[in-house]
Amino acid sequence: MVSKMIVVGSSCEGYKTAANYLTKTRLGSAAMAFFPHIQPHLIRNSIRHLGKAFGEIRDGTIISPGNFYVGAQKNFEVDKFGYSSGLNRKFSIQQQGHRGYFRVSSQMSNDPIDDAFIAVYHQFKKNTICVILRGAGTDGVESARHIHENGGEVIIESLIGGMTEYARYKIPDAEVLAPKDIPEKLEELINTK
């Protein structure tokens, strides 16, 4: 049974932090799900390269302790500058016995990180840990603030970007850490009852 769920939101700039640092986190009885505003293969390939257990979030995917998951983007577009954008399918988490399952709907979302954070919070409550990485926009910040105000944990990457700057403004007492320090903090939170 998964004790804590770490949910990570990032945009184009944040995926390198996820690949280079967050995937080194020793999860133990926790699980981690990445919800990037980028093509998921960029994170998926990094996780595979490190030999980590990985699962793409599909309808019915079982959430297992010690595993990393990536939310799949749909309807991708890449602009002339090479930036990608897309919509995620809305999802939820359902509990059946001691196992949690991802449920993916046919509805699309304009705010996939906010939706992901809230879906995780509905199932894991105070055992939700949100990580906001660098990226453009503000997606994920409002739901992270809600989670923080209701007992969940929020970590904000120290690198400057729209998502991280807005998160610092909206959640001033959240922990702000350098990318290399995030895995150690996550492991501390995982092992805290």
Listed range (8-22, 72-86, 138-152) with the worst mean pLDDT: 72-86
Say what percent of the chain tops pLDDT 90: 32
- How much is the average pLDDT of 147-156? 96
For residue 80, what pLDDT is reported? 42
pLDDT band at 84 (very low <50, low <70, confident <90, very high): very low
Residue 81 has pLDDT above 90, yes or no: no
Domain that holds residue 178: 5-190
User: Token match 């320090």: residue?
Assistant: 181
Task: State the Cα–Cα distance between residues 141 and 11, nearest whole angstrom.
Answer: 13
Domain count, the chain: 1
pLDDT band at 78 (very low <50, low <70, confident <90, very high): very low
Higher-pLDDT residue of 161, 25? 25
Phi, psi angles (nearest 5°) of residue 177: -130, 150
Higher-pLDDT residue of 82, 155? 155
Q: What CATH number does residue 174 fall under?
A: 3.40.50.180
Residue 149 has pLDDT above 90, yes or no: yes
Query: Which DSSP letter does residue 158 get?
Result: S
Task: State the Cα–Cα distance between residues 2 and 41, nearest whole angstrom.
Answer: 25
Among 182, 124, 173, 122, residue whose Cα is nearest residue 145: 173
Quote the pTM value: 0.82
Task: State the Cα–Cα distance between residues 125 and 93, nearest whole angstrom.
Answer: 12
Higher-pLDDT residue of 108, 189? 189
pLDDT band at 137 (very low <50, low <70, confident <90, very high): confident
Residue 61 has pLDDT above 80, yes or no: no
The alpha helices in the chain, defined as continuous H runs, are 15-20, 41-49, 112-124, 141-149, 162-170, 182-190
Task: State the Cα–Cα distance between residues 193 and 191, nearest whole angstrom.
Answer: 6
Beta-bridged to residue 104, according to DSSP, are 91
